[in-house]
Amino acid sequence: MNPLSRRAFLLGGACAVASYLVYEVHTIKVVRYTVPVRNLPLPFHDFTILHLSDLHQKLFGKNQSRLLSLINRCRYDMVALTGDMVNRYNPDAKPALELINGLASKPLFFVHGNNEFDAECRNGYRIAPHLGNAGVTILDHRAVTLSRGDSRIRIAGAGHPPSGSGYLRKMLSGTADGAPAILLTHSPVIFPAAARVGIDLVLAGHTHGGQVRIPLIGTLWAPGMGIFPRWNYGEFHQGRTTLIVTGGLGESILPVRINIPPEIVLVTLVAYFE
């Protein structure tokens, strides 16, 4: 291969890689899960949760138009926001608020991620007042009840940093005891504690699916979870508890995604009885 051909080959290859990286970072996919929930009240059969996480102040078009266009073609009954909507170093709620203000009028629940926690510790920035003014329920360290007629489910929130099973039991006590429970959390490391308590569904983010996924291997590393993290992406089960970890919408450290494009998640609950 002559030098000119070699340069042209390398340039073409570099352009192809750059195009792929841009495509992967900005292409949004919809991921759907169906989760059987033991003794789910029939009025909540087919109840669907829109799960969004790890926006990291990312923009998907003006006023989040590309993201909202996709979301608002979907049917959902509730929105779960599981943290890292801002970045720790230069926190700005505007991208998150543009997203939230464009969503359909459904109940919205939020738990803090490590970036919101760090932003408050570093410079006193608090996203909670901004979200509260936009109609979002801040669910850190507490649980609420959703009702359909006389039927109820419980929605709980474990904000960052997560804690153990005793903390979860205390948080859930007195909220429609015995009703199915859904836990929103940022990091999936709380999963074993949630399984010990018998929580039915855990929704988490934080890992970004690794941001880089190697075929046949998966995620190499996730923050706070080390190399080859156990609960890095997708659906997991322990006892009666299901964990779903979303790859999220944004990126951290580097604006790169490989084999794990940004995603929104729709989780549909279905009833089964023993």
User: Higher model confidence: residue 12 or residue 226?
Assistant: 226
Residue 23 exposed, middle or buried by CB count within 10 Å (0-12, 13-18, 19+): exposed
Nearest to 99 by CA among 132, 70, 65, 126: 65
**Which CATH number does the domain 3-272 belong to among 3.40.50.10890, 3.60.21.10, 3.30.450.20, 3.30.2320.80?**
3.60.21.10
pLDDT for 152: 96
Residue 42 DSSP one-character state: G
The tens digit of pLDDT for each residue in 103-152 reads 988 999 999 999 999 999 998 999 999 999 999 999 999 999 999 999 99
Mean of all residue pLDDT scores within the chain = 89
Do residues 262 and 59 lie in contact, with contact meaning Cβ atoms separated by under 8 Å? no
Q: What is the mean pLDDT of residues 64-93?
A: 97
Q: What is the mean pLDDT of residues 159-183?
A: 87
Name the residue type at position 245. V
| Interatomic CA distance for residues 44 and 152, integer angstroms | 8
The helix/strand/coil state of 157 is strand
pLDDT for 228: 81
| Beta strand 218-219 pairing with 213-214 | antiparallel
Q: What is the mean pLDDT of residues 5-22?
A: 42
pLDDT for 221: 79
Instruction: Give the containing element (helix H, strand E) for 19.
Output: helix 3-26
User: Higher model confidence: residue 36 or residue 274?
Assistant: 36
User: Higher model confidence: residue 254 or residue 57?
Assistant: 57
The tens digit of pLDDT for each residue in 14-46 reads 333 333 344 455 689 999 999 999 999 999 999
- Confidence (pTM): 0.90
Do residues 247 and 209 lie in contact, with contact meaning Cβ atoms separated by under 8 Å? yes
